[in-house]
């Protein structure tokens, strides 16, 4: 097989169809098989033999697997060669076309292919070069943004509600300090209304409950931490002892203690679900009312001051614009291909152009 | 939600559903009695159902104070509306009366599915409070509608091979070439609007969640649907694939559409679980 034949195959429609079908099959596998779980999860669901195959083929992480990326790269190669092979013919046909509409219409499929290529490249570069951080806390918290030299202060977090209690909007006010330049920027972040500060986009991602955890020894408080649901706190003078704050129940129903639950979102009978560990070993788990305390040896643990915390997603994707351009170019190509180019002419010419028939 | 308006919407929706059902029966009668008049009347009944269906959607929008596109009932009724819209346009544009006999059952099934969902009006959750909602869902509706009609045309194409010359179907089902072309037009409309839908969804997801593509099941199945129809478009211009094979691909594509809509919501919950 000479180079021209290889080039023709790589740019052929037959190869494109094979790639599209394989990609579709990969996507089906990636959506039907739960992604990113431990081996034990797959064993419990599919048995050992199937689980071994799932992990060996990386079907547990299809969209980041090498083979999926290779198929996508081949699709890019196919689109590139296809467009390069067709380019001289399209230029000739454009010159031959009688009017502007016909000239533009000739380029539909070519522009569509170019758009998809730009989109994939933009997405791929974004996956490599984007940076993502999560910042969560309550008003007053100051959190560093990884090692970027940026510090985020949560100034305020509010939840706008309707009369029936349903949520209209979550809003977090932040001040962002760039340590390198010593400058500050303020912003307000809501769902669907991200803020752009120092080149990073801040998104209102989610919320939950936080509370103050008090650790006392011999009657005196030795440690106080503001914890968000899911946080673990190691005792300062006994680090092997850890208490996690699992969940908050604003309106705890003591009549239904076997199935811990909350009746409403109003804070009328607050309870805090905790788990205690010593040297990694499970000690106990229970719901603690505000008036109650957890005693472990000489220590006592209490919770107070429940308040909502905010979770912000912070992201910088320098190539997101490329993906957007790719999408818009693809759309332009489709419009040109379907509605500008006369159908009869299109079919005839496409037939002539498909060299792999 | 204004309860009075909800009541009116309910009546209009029910009458529209009955009219779609009557239209479906009318098209079956058209096949049974072989009178063109029956098809014409069925078309008018479907158009009347469509008008009332549109009124029901408008009234729900007024009553809810937002676009009626945010829960399972609302999307299902919009899906049926999109199918009816594309069906009426294609029947008129390409003079294919018998398309109604194949499309009306699909419309009735989808609006029937809508009728089985809860019609309660819920307030919009923060992530749905966006100007992109209307555009994103509208494009999905037109796209699904067009794919539904391409499915009906594909069934007609596959039936075309089995009918005897000079029979009623032979006279009323267009030639294979015409069916192939109309089917192609329907798929072209569908894939164009599906592309609009995916891109607008990506822009919206970027604003709402900070990620324009996160392999959510609904996103992934929209991409699968797009890929299947892309294969259809490529296969169709390859020698020997135009016709029956293309029709089979168009039918498979619509099965993907249905899975994207019903299957994903049922079996693969993700960030689109409300739809």
Domain ranges of chain B: 1-120, 128-275
Least confident of A240-244, A262-266, A323-327: A262-266
Q: Give the residue-averaged pLDDT of B145-159.
A: 94
Q: What is the three-state SS of A69-119?
A: HHHHHHHHHHHHHHHHHHHHHHHHHHHHCCCHHHHHHCCHHHHHHHHHHHH
Q: What is the pLDDT of residues A277-317, one digit of tens each?
A: 999 999 999 989 988 999 998 999 999 999 999 999 999 99
Chain B contact probe: residue of A20, A60, A122 with most B CBs at under 10 A: A20
The answer to whether residue B131 scores a pLDDT higher than 70 is: yes
Q: What is the pLDDT of residues B72-102, one digit of tens each?
A: 899 999 999 999 999 999 999 999 989 999 9
Q: What is the pLDDT of residues B200-253, one digit of tens each?
A: 999 999 988 888 999 999 999 999 999 999 999 998 877 666 678 888 889 999
Chain A contact probe: residue of B134, B210, B269 with most A CBs at under 10 A: B210
Q: Do domains B1-120 and B128-275 have the same CATH topology?
A: yes
Reported as type and span, the H/E element at residue B58 is helix B36-64
Q: Distance, in angstroms, between A247 CA and closest chain B CA?
A: 22
What pLDDT, on a 0 to 100 scale, did the predictor assign at position A195?
A: 96
> Rounded to an integer, what is the distance from CA B112 to the centroid of its chain?
13
| Beta-carbon separation of A166 and B206 below 8 A | no
Share of chain A above pLDDT 70, in %: 92
Q: What is the pLDDT of residues A89-116, one digit of tens each?
A: 999 999 988 888 888 889 999 999 999 9
Q: Give the residue-averaged pLDDT of B17-21.
A: 97
Tell which CATH classification among 1.20.120, 3.90.1720, 1.10.3470, 1.20.58 matches the domain B1-120. Answer: 1.20.120
What pLDDT, on a 0 to 100 scale, did the predictor assign at position B106?
A: 94
Reported as type and span, the H/E element at residue A229 is none
The answer to whether residue A122 scores a pLDDT higher than 90 is: yes
Question: Residue A198: which of A217, A182, A215 has the closest Cα?
Answer: A182
What pLDDT, on a 0 to 100 scale, did the predictor assign at position B239?
A: 66
Q: Give the residue-averaged pLDDT of B59-83.
A: 92
> What does the domain layout of chain A look like in residue ranges?
1-96, 97-127+319-357, 132-208+312-316, 210-307
Length, in residues, of chain B: 275
Cβ-based contacts of A351 with chain B (< 8 Å): 237, 239
* B65 neighbors B81 (Cβ within 8 angstroms): no
Q: How many CB contacts within 8 angstroms connect chain A with chain B?
A: 122
Of B181, B199, B215, the CB nearest to A331: B199
What pLDDT, on a 0 to 100 scale, did the predictor assign at position A4?
A: 86
* A15 neighbors A89 (Cβ within 8 angstroms): no
What pLDDT, on a 0 to 100 scale, did the predictor assign at position A345?
A: 46
Share of chain B above pLDDT 70, in %: 96
Q: Give the residue-averaged pLDDT of B112-117.
A: 94
Cβ-based contacts of B206 with chain A (< 8 Å): 320
Q: What is the pLDDT of residues A247-271, one digit of tens each?
A: 999 888 777 655 556 656 778 889 9
Higher pLDDT, B1 or B62: B62
DSSP 8-state class, residue B102? H
The answer to whether residue B272 scores a pLDDT higher than 80 is: no
| Beta-carbon separation of A194 and B209 below 8 A | no
DSSP 8-state class, residue A285? E
Q: How far is A57 from A63, CA to CA, in rounded Å?
A: 12
The confidence band for A60, taking pLDDT boundaries of 50, 70 and 90, is: very high
CA distances from residue A142 to A145, A179, B160, B225, B240 in whole angstroms, order as listed = 10, 13, 70, 45, 66
Angle, in degrees to the nearest 10, between helices B244-258 and B176-209: 30
Predicted-complex ipTM score:
0.90
| Beta-carbon separation of A193 and B207 below 8 A | yes
CA distances from residue A86 to A105, A106, A350, B107, B115 in whole angstroms, order as listed = 14, 11, 10, 42, 51
φ and ψ at residue B245, rounded to 5 degrees: -65, -40
| Beta-carbon separation of B127 and A191 below 8 A | yes
Q: Distance, in angstroms, between B25 CA and closest chain A CA?
A: 35
Q: Distance, in angstroms, between B183 CA and closest chain A CA?
A: 13
Cβ-based contacts of A168 with chain B (< 8 Å): 123, 126, 129
Q: Give the residue-averaged pLDDT of B163-186.
A: 86
Q: What is the three-state SS of A165-201?
A: CCEEEEEEEEEEEECCCCEEEEEEEECCECEEECCEE
| Beta-carbon separation of B192 and A191 below 8 A | no
Cβ-based contacts of B231 with chain A (< 8 Å): 17, 20-21, 24
CATH topology of domain B128-275: 1.20.120
Least confident of A78-87, B2-11, B262-271: B262-271
| Beta-carbon separation of B230 and A168 below 8 A | no
Of A35, A168, A192, the CB nearest to B130: A192
| Beta-carbon separation of A315 and B211 below 8 A | yes
Least confident of A112-116, A216-220, B15-19: A216-220
What pLDDT, on a 0 to 100 scale, did the predictor assign at position B172?
A: 83
The confidence band for B165, taking pLDDT boundaries of 50, 70 and 90, is: confident
* Mean pLDDT (chain A, rounded): 90
The answer to whether residue A353 scores a pLDDT higher than 60 is: no
Of B184, B196, B210, the CB nearest to A201: B210
Question: Residue A34: which of B257, B268, B260, B212 has the closest Cα?
Answer: B268
| Beta-carbon separation of B237 and A347 below 8 A | yes
The confidence band for A354, taking pLDDT boundaries of 50, 70 and 90, is: very low
What pLDDT, on a 0 to 100 scale, did the predictor assign at position B274?
A: 46
CA distances from residue A30 to A20, A64, B42, B214 in whole angstroms, order as listed = 15, 10, 44, 12
Q: How far is B235 from A294, CA to CA, in rounded Å?
A: 69
Cβ-based contacts of A123 with chain B (< 8 Å): 213
The confidence band for A117, taking pLDDT boundaries of 50, 70 and 90, is: very high
Chain B residue with minimum CA distance to A134: B210
Q: Distance, in angstroms, between A63 CA and closest chain B CA?
A: 8
Q: What is the pLDDT of residues A145-189, one digit of tens each?
A: 999 999 999 999 999 998 888 889 999 999 999 999 999 999 999
For residue B162, how many other CB atoms are within 10 A of its CB? 7
Share of chain A above pLDDT 90, in %: 73
Q: How many alpha carbons lie under 13 Å from residue B108 in its C-beta half-sphere?
A: 18
The answer to whether residue A357 scores a pLDDT higher than 50 is: no
| Beta-carbon separation of B130 and A328 below 8 A | no
């Amino acid at each position: 097989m000479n180079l021209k034949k290889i080039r023709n195959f790589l740019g052929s429609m037959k190869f494109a169809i094979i790639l599209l079908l394989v990609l579709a099959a990969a996507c089906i596998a990636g959506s039907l098989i739960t992604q990113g779980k431990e081996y034990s999860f797959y064993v419990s669901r599919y048995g050992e033999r199937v689980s071994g195959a799932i992990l060996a083929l990386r079907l547990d992480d299809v969209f980041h697997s090498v083979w999926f990326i290779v198929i996508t790269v081949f699709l890019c190669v196919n689109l590139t060669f296809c467009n390069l092979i067709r380019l001289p013919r399209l230029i000739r046909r454009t010159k031959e076309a009688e009017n502007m509409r016909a000239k533009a219409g000739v380029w539909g499929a070519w522009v569509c292919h170019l758009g998809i290529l730009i989109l994939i490249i933009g997405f791929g570069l974004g996956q490599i070069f984007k940076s993502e951080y999560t910042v969560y806390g309550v008003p007053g918290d100051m959190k560093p943004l990884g090692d970027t030299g940026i510090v985020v202060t949560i100034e305020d977090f509010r939840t706008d509600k309707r009369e029936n209690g349903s949520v209209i909007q979550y809003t977090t006010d932040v001040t962002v300090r760039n340590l390198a330049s010593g400058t500050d920027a303020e912003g307000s972040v809501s769902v669907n209304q991200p803020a752009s500060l120092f080149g990073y986009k801040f998104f209102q991602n989610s919320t939950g409950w936080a509370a103050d955890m008090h650790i006392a020894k011999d009657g005196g408080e030795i440690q106080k931490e503001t914890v968000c649901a899911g946080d673990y706190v190691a005792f300062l003078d006994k680090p092997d002892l850890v208490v996690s704050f699992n969940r908050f129940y604003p309106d705890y129903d003591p009549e239904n203690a076997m199935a811990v639950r909350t009746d409403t979102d109003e804070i009328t009978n607050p309870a805090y679900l905790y788990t205690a560990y010593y040297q990694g070993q499970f000690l106990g788990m229970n719901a603690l009312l505000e008036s109650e305390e957890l005693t472990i040896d000489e220590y006592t643990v209490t919770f107070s001051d429940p308040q909502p915390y905010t979770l912000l997603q912070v992201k910088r994707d320098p190539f997101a614009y490329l993906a957007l351009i790719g999408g818009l170019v693809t759309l332009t190509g489709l419009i040109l291909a379907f509605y500008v180019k006369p159908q009869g002419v299109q079919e005839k010419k496409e037939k002539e152009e498909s060299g792999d028939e | 939600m204004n309860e009075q308006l909800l009541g009116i919407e309910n009546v209009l929706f029910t009458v529209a559903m009955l009219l779609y059902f009557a239209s479906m029966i009318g098209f079956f009668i058209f096949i049974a009695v072989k009178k063109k008049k029956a098809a014409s009347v069925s078309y008018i009944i479907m158009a009347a159902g469509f008008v009332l269906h549109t009124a029901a959607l408008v009234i729900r929008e007024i009553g809810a104070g937002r676009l009626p596109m945010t829960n399972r009932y609302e999307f299902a009724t919009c899906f049926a509306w999109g199918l009816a819209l594309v069906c009426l346009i294609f029947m008129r544009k390409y003079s294919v009366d018998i398309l109604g006999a194949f499309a009306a059952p699909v419309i009735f099934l989808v609006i029937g599915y809508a009728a089985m969902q809860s019609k309660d009006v819920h307030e919009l959750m923060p992530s749905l409070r966006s100007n992109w909602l209307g555009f994103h869902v509208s494009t999905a509706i037109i796209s699904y509608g067009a794919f539904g009609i391409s499915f009906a045309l594909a069934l007609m194409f596959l039936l075309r091979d089995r009918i005897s010359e000079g029979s009623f179907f032979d006279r009323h089902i267009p030639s294979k070439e015409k069916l192939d072309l109309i089917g192609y037009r329907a798929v072209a409309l569908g894939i164009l609007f599906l592309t609009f839908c995916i891109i607008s969804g990506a822009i919206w997801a970027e604003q709402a969640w900070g990620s324009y593509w996160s392999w959510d099941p609904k996103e992934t199945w929209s991409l699968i649907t797009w890929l299947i129809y892309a294969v259809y478009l490529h296969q169709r211009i390859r020698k020997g694939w135009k016709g029956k094979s293309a029709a089979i691909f168009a039918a498979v594509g619509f099965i993907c559409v249905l899975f994207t809509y019903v299957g994903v919501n049922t079996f693969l919950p993700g960030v689109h679980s409300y739809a």
